[in-house]
Each structure stands twice: as C-alpha cells, then as structure tokens.
C-alpha cells in the first residue's frame, strides 16, 4: 500500500499527516501556495495556518518575489519529512493503515464479549 492508498483507507488525516503532506509537496519542488494547497488537498485557510506554523518552526522558508510568496523546504523540514516517511514505511508491517471502523468495532465487540465471560 502506498502513500495515497493509505489515505483512502484510513479516513480523516491527522494534523501530522496534513503537515507532512505539505512538506512532501514542497519537497517535490512545488513552491506556489495555490498549487501546494491543491496537491496537499487542503483549504486555503488551513494551508495558511499550517504554513505559518511551518515557518515559525523553520521547517519551510518563504521567499517573496514582488507580491508572490514561494515556499521551500529547509534542511530541518527535509529531515522531519524523511523521518516521518521512514516511520510510516517501517510501521506498515503492523497493518495499521488498513484498519477500518469495521475492524475496530469487531475487535472491540470481541474484547467486550471476552470480558463478559
């Protein structure tokens, strides 16, 4: 299962996943905010909030050319993204990315019935 497929099966993304989606898009050379928003699948308001946080934590850098802002990944941002991707890859053996609500509900029912015995 790849990056895109895991998002389809897991439902809503966490804040960490959204942050790393932005870092991943920027790492691929996308610099313009509108295109980052589209490829990271965020609203404009959410993108601005995340970009400000990424700038404050020095994971991305902003360069202004005229009235246009361009974003690049910093070394720190690249390191964080690499660690996240490695962790995601290493944790794939656990199968957590394929869990669905039905799997969790089934496991909880089984656990509850075991407790009732």
The predicted structure's pLDDT at residue 3: 47
Predicted local distance difference test score (pLDDT) of residue 93: 79
Predicted structure pTM score: 0.72
**What pLDDT score was predicted for residue 1?**
43
Q: Give the pLDDT means over successive 10-residue stretches in the chain (117 positions).
A: 47 90 97 97 97 98 94 97 92 69 66 64
Predicted local confidence at residue 7, as pLDDT? 46
Distance separating the N- and C-terminal Cα atoms of the chain: 38
Distance set, CA 71 to CA 37, 38, 55, 76 (Å): 12, 14, 9, 14
């Amino acid at each position: 299962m790849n990056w895109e497929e895991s998002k389809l099966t897991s439902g809503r993304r966490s804040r960490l996943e959204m942050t790393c989606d932005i870092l991943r898009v920027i790492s691929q050379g996308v610099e313009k905010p509108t295109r980052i928003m589209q490829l990271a699948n965020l609203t404009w308001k959410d993108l601005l909030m995340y970009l400000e946080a990424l700038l404050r934590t020095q994971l991305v850098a902003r360069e202004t050319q005229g009235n246009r802002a361009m974003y690049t990944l910093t070394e720190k941002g690249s390191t964080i993204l690499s660690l996240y991707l490695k962790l995601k890859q290493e944790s794939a053996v656990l199968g957590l990315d394929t869990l669905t609500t039905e799997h969790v509900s089934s496991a909880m029912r089984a656990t509850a019935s075991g407790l009732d015995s």
